[in-house]
Amino acid sequence: MANSNRSARLATSGDAVRRLRAFVPVVVVRLLAGACSQLNGEAASDDAFADDRPPEVLYNEGLAYLNEGKLKDAADAFREVDRQHPYSEHARKALIMSAFANYRRGRYDATVRSANRFVSLYPGDPDAAYAHYLIGSSYFKQIPDVTRDQEKTKEAIASLNEIIRQFPESEYATDARQKIIVARDQLAGKEMQIGRYYLERREYAAAINRFQGVVSEYQETRHVEEALMRLVESNLALGLAGEAQNAGAILGHNFPDSEWYEDAYALLQSGGLEPRENRNSVLSRLFGRRNSS
């Protein structure tokens, strides 16, 4: 994730940092590097979170826990820095470290809270890009099965797009783009599931709306071929031969080797029809733009 220039600046940060470099993002390594020399081997005491403890003590205890792999204790320690010493320099660093620790332990809602607080307070900070990345990745990790509500998927896409918008040249933008592809495929899959449900219930008009939505909004996904075939099937069931022929022709032109085209062609032939494109149709215009882009 890190580039070579940032890694080089961190190369002398001590044994604790070197042990963590294999699994900790460069943002975290840099924050560790700034404080590891202050740890001096001190273990966190039982009263680690007593009121009015100096922020650097709490922060370094969090680093010690993180170094030991005690992610919950680390997150608690970093949170305590922000609670006792809000708006301090150590609180700024603790916020991003708390987000990281919670992300590593799978506490994604807690990650989002800490990272959102960080970007609200420090939008221009060099680590703001990483905070946004933790937010988007946390939503991405919570994308549910296609049979369930996809609100988290939409939140993931919105958050990941924010990384691309604000930090297009950052080390996180490329991964954000890849995650968006996966998330959009999930949304298309949800639309296909609903469309198939309507098709099975012979609610053909409702099914057509869903399949057309996939073809219109998610052409880059793997679901578009099936959506075109289902448009052939649904339109034939309604007696709309021209619409069925048009969908079949567009499927054949764009995906001639697809098994879905074989199925669509067989369906049309069973009704004595052939694929025939209507170049004035919405579908034809959509795929005309797709092929010219």
Q: What is the mean pLDDT of residues 126-137?
A: 97
Residue 54 has pLDDT above 70, yes or no: yes
Helices (H) and strands (E) counted in the chain, each on its own, are 15, 0
Q: Which has the higher per-residue pLDDT, 293 or 211?
A: 211
CA distance 70 to 62: 9
Q: Which of 258, 252, 249, 255 is nearest to 281 (CA)?
A: 249
pLDDT digits (tens, 9 = 90+) for 61-115: 999 999 999 999 999 999 999 999 998 999 999 999 999 999 999 999 999 999 9
Please tell me the distance from the alpha carbon of residue 264 to that of residue 278, in angstroms, as a whole number. 16
Flag whether pLDDT at 50 surpasses 70. Answer: no
**Which amino acid is it at 126?**
P
Q: In whole angstroms, what is the distance from residue 207 CA to residue 200 CA?
A: 9
At 44, the pLDDT band (50, 70, 90 cuts) reads very low
Instruction: Write down the domain spans for the chain.
Output: 1-105, 188-293
Which whole number is the average pLDDT over 272-287?
92
pLDDT at 51: 58
Residue 240 amino acid letter: L
- Of the ranges 27-36, 259-268, 280-289, the best mean pLDDT one: 259-268
Q: Is 41 exposed, middle or buried (0-12, 13-18, 19+ CB in 10 A)?
A: exposed
- The better pLDDT of the pair 180, 4 is held by 180
CATH topology of domain 188-293: 1.25.40
Q: How far lies 102's CA from each of 12, 133, 136, 204, 269, in Å?
A: 27, 14, 14, 46, 57
Q: Which residues of 189-204 are buried (b: 16+ CB within 10 A; e: fewer)?
A: bbbbebbeebbeeeeb
> To the nearest whole number, what is the mean pLDDT of the chain?
86
pLDDT of residue 118: 97
Single pTM value for the model: 0.79
**Minimal CA–CA distance to 258: which of 231, 224, 222, 225?**
225
pLDDT tops 50 at residue 136: yes
Q: What's the pLDDT at 1?
A: 43
